[in-house]
């Protein structure tokens, strides 16, 4: 019986030792986990700090580049300004030189005796016109042919609208040795239009809401 008590006591002591060791190991494990978590937090914090340091470095680099570019642009602008000033000064000197030469020439000319230009009388040339044909009407038509024997010919035309409240127009073209637009109007008129060249012609007359009259003339040979 005494042996049983002894064995039980030894067993209880062994169990208590195991429990104490387990508790000790658990505390070590918890401490290790806590240290690992702290280490992980430290690593994350270090990563954040590195990111911030990199951002600051990039900003400083960008600012340095901006400062360098600003200095280069200022130097380039100063060079361009000097070139513009030099060019304007050169142009101003050229203009001053030309002005001095012009003044010298003007003074030289003013010292010379003035001469009046020669005047030659002009005899006005009078042309005599003779009638070749006469046409009148109130609508669109083509005139009979007529023969022009001089280099100059003309038509004396009149256009009279029938109703001022209605649109009117008169269009006359010569066809033949040469084609010319002689009349193109939408208003009443009494005028002269010129053709050119000798040959056989006829007139194509387009008219609306008007009466017209045409006299064909050429210069006398």
Q: Total structural domains in the chain?
A: 2
Are 17 and 72 members of one domain?
yes
Helix, strand or coil, per DSSP, at residue 51: helix
Decide if 91 is inside a domain: yes
Decide if 40 is inside a domain: yes
Phi (first) and psi of residue 32, to 5 degrees: -65, -40
The pTM is what?
0.43
Give the residue numbers spanning the domain of 66: 9-109
Contact 154, 129 (CB under 8 A): yes
Task: Give the domain CATH number at 211.
Answer: 2.60.120.1310
Decide if 92 is inside a domain: yes
For strands 169-176 and 180-185, give the pairing: antiparallel
Contact 171, 124 (CB under 8 A): no
Q: Tens digits of per-residue pLDDT, 173-191?
A: 999 888 889 999 999 999 9
Decide if 172 is inside a domain: yes
Distances (CA, A) of 181 to 37, 174, 177: 105, 7, 13
Decide if 124 is inside a domain: no
Are 14 and 105 members of one domain?
yes
- Upper half-sphere CA count for residue 19 (Cβ side, 13 Å): 6
Q: Comparing C-alpha atoms, which of 163, 146, 164 is closest to residue 214?
A: 146
3-state helix, strand, coil in the chain (%, to 5): 50, 30, 20
Decide if 1 is inside a domain: no
Average pLDDT over residues 25-44: 71
Higher pLDDT, 24 or 209: 209
Average pLDDT over residues 70-99: 70
Are 92 and 149 members of one domain?
no
Are 105 and 133 members of one domain?
no
Are 88 and 142 members of one domain?
no
């Amino acid at each position: 019986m005494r042996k049983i008590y002894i064995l039980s006591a030894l067993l209880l002591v062994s169990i208590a030792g195991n429990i104490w060791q387990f508790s000790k190991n658990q505390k070590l494990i918890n401490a290790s986990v806590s240290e690992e978590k702290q280490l992980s937090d430290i690593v994350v914090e270090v990563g954040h700090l590195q990111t911030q340091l990199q951002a600051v470095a990039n900003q400083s680099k960008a600012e340095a580049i901006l400062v360098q570019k600003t200095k280069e642009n200022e130097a380039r602008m100063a060079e361009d300004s000097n070139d513009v000033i030099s060019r304007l000064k050169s142009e101003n000197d050229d203009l001053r030189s030309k002005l001095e030469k012009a003044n010298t020439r003007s003074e030289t000319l003013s010292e010379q005796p003035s001469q009046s230009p020669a005047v030659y009388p002009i005899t006005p040339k009078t042309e005599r016109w003779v009638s070749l044909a006469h046409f009148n009407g109130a609508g669109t038509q083509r005139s009979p042919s007529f023969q022009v024997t001089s280099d100059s010919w003309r038509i004396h035309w009149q256009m009279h609208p029938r109703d001022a409240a209605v649109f009117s127009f008169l269009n006359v073209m010569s066809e033949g040795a040469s084609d010319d637009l002689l009349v193109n109007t939408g208003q009443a008129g009494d005028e002269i239009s010129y053709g050119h060249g000798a040959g056989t012609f006829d007139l194509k007359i387009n008219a609306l809401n008007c009466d017209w009259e045409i006299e064909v003339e050429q210069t006398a040979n």
